[in-house]
Amino acid sequence: MGLHITEQQQLEQLYHTIKNTTQRFLGYPVSKDFDYSELMPFLQFPLNNLGDPFSESTYQVDSRTMEREVVNFFAKLFRAHEDQIWGYVTNGGSEGNLYGLYVARELYPKGMVYFSEATHYSIQKNVALLNIDYVIIKSLPNGEVDYNDLKKTIGFNRHRPAIVVANIGTTMTEAKDNTKKIKSILENMAIKKHYIHADAALAGGFAPFVTPRPKFDFEDGIDSISISGHKFIGSPMPSGVVIVKKDNRDRIARRIAYIGSSDATITGSRNGHTPLFLWYAIKKIGLEGFKKRTEHSLAVASYTENKLNGLGIDAWRNPNAITIVFPAPSKKVINKWQLATEKRQSHIICMPNVPYTQIDEFIADIESEMCVV
């Protein structure tokens, strides 16, 4: 049986609505310059990567081989040793953050979590789910963690293991916390039991290709990292990757007879299509492609900042950021361009799909609004 005509019309209406709203999309970090049509035949199969992607399972309608390649690709980008890490493809950065905190809690059940006030809301939600004590640290004006406040606050609780969440691209200003500096603070304070999780949902896809390279990866002291796949890379559905040190992961893995595999993941049953999509994108884009996407985004960001400043608007961005922050415009402009807005500040994120012509159209709207005023 097919759909009733009214249901078919409902689908068509949804399609046209989404097609229209996708055209002007500058306020959120989602790349839309992708083409996965070659993978459409796989949508007829129930791909489920349940359990551990690095173990075989009696359920074999999966994409584990590709998932392992995706994890190892990012592990290499984040300067980790392939034989010393473990990870899997998540449904987004928030799940990756939950997993990193879960591993940290299992290592240090009496640990205290520290994260800045500019941290993504998923962290506060996740510490509540895991029932871990936490302290919110002040942020510097650019959104980066206040290292002095972090040091002082850890000092009040130095008898407890320290679990620090570092932001590698905050949601509003794309500030990047320096994990090497955080690691030094912990070591200089003789906090031997510590864990650093990097929330790189926003900037993880391009931070390795920025010069100078931010301090955010395994060589810079982290124990786990979470990134998003649908942001800088682009995908029709949310996805992400979480990578942890293998020794830490081994403490929470459990053998599950029903699936003939071990499982240390959050959800158990996992989308088998998203690893395939990420694998396909990585192979098509390649390292040179990632560099070019980064260069394009940075160039468009610089162009946007200069255009706004040229209009007398106090626009700014962090060093090598693709996010431009400026005073919130009218609700009409915010709604048209779907601008994320907080505390009377809006931002544009110049993802790889954003062309100069779209920025020019946005600038024209801003200029027109200023003329009316």
Residue 3, C-beta contacts closer than 8 angstroms, at least 6 positions apart: 11
Mean pLDDT, residues 77-106 taken together: 94
Residue 21: is its pLDDT beyond 90? no
Q: Are residues 274 and 348 in the same domain?
A: no
- What is the value of pTM for the model shown? 0.94
* Structure token digits, residue 362: 């946005």
Q: How far apart are CA 195 and CA 297, in angstroms?
A: 32
105 within a domain of the structure (yes/no):
yes
Token output for 69: 């390649």
135 & 232 share domain: yes
Cα gap 145→166, rounded to integer Å: 8
Domain end point (choices 257, 282, 307): 282
Asked whether residue 9 is assigned to any structural domain, the reply reads no
Q: What pLDDT sits at residue 263?
A: 67
Tokens of 262: 């071990």
Q: What number is the average pLDDT over the span 96-100?
A: 96
Containing structural domain, residue 63: 39-282
Lowest mean pLDDT among 18-32, 165-179, 280-294: 18-32
Instruction: Report residue 77: phi and psi, to 5°.
Output: -60, -35
Contacts of 65 (CB under 8 A, 6+ apart): none
- Whether residues 332 and 278 fall in one domain: no
* H helix or E strand, kind and range, residue 358: helix 356-372
Q: What is the predicted pLDDT for the residue at 241?
A: 97
Tell whether 276 and 325 lie within a shared domain. Answer: no
- CATH number of the domain that 135 lies in? 3.40.640.10
Q: Is residue 316 situated within a structural domain?
A: yes
- Any domain includes 4: no
With bands split at pLDDT 50, 70 and 90, how would you rate the model's confidence at 370?
Answer: confident
Q: Examine the domain organization and report whether 77 and 191 are in the same domain.
A: yes
Domain presence at residue 119: yes
Cα separation, 308 vs 26, in Å, equals 15
306 shares its domain with 275 = no
Q: What is the pLDDT of residues 212-230, one digit of tens each?
A: 999 999 999 999 999 999 9
Which of 220, 250, 282 terminates a domain? The answer is 282
Confidence (pLDDT) at 256: 40
User: Coil, strand, or helix at residue 218?
Assistant: helix
With cut-offs at 50, 70 and 90, classify the pLDDT of residue 321.
Answer: very high
Comparing CA positions, the residue from 228, 234, 286, 202 lying closest to residue 35 is: 234
Q: How far apart are CA 351 and CA 360, in angstroms?
A: 15
Sequence-separated (6 or more) residues with CB below 8 Å from residue 45: 61
Single residue among 251, 282, 313 that ends a domain in this structure: 282
Where would I find the H helices in 311-355? Answer: 331-337
Task: Find the angle CA(27)-CA(33)-CA(34) to the nearest 5 degrees.
Answer: 130
Helices within 206-345 (DSSP H only): 246-250, 273-310, 331-337
pLDDT band at 372 (very low <50, low <70, confident <90, very high): low
> The domain spanning residue 312 has which CATH number?
3.90.1150.10
Residues 106 and 55 in one domain: yes
Looking at the structure, tell me whether residues 96 and 176 fall in a common domain: yes
Q: Is residue 187 in a domain? A: yes
pLDDT per position as a tens digit, 155-213: 999 999 999 999 999 999 999 999 999 999 999 999 999 999 999 999 999 999 999 99
339-350 pLDDT, tens digit each: 999 999 999 999
Is residue 171 a contact partner of residue 120, using CB atoms and an 8 Å limit?
A: yes
**Is residue 17 domain-resident?**
no
CA 285 – CA 288 distance, rounded (Å): 7
Answer yes or no: do 155 and 96 share one domain. Answer: yes
Say yes or no: 242 and 277 in one domain: yes
Confirm whether 7 is domain-assigned. no
- What's the domain count of the chain? 2
pLDDT tens digits, one per residue of 42-84: 999 999 998 889 888 788 999 999 999 999 999 999 999 888 9
Pair 264, 132 in one domain: yes
237 plus 323 within the same structural domain: no
Question: Which segments within the chain are labelled E, that is strand?
Answer: 85-90, 112-116, 133-137, 162-167, 194-199, 224-228, 240-245, 254-256, 261-263, 323-327, 341-342, 345-349
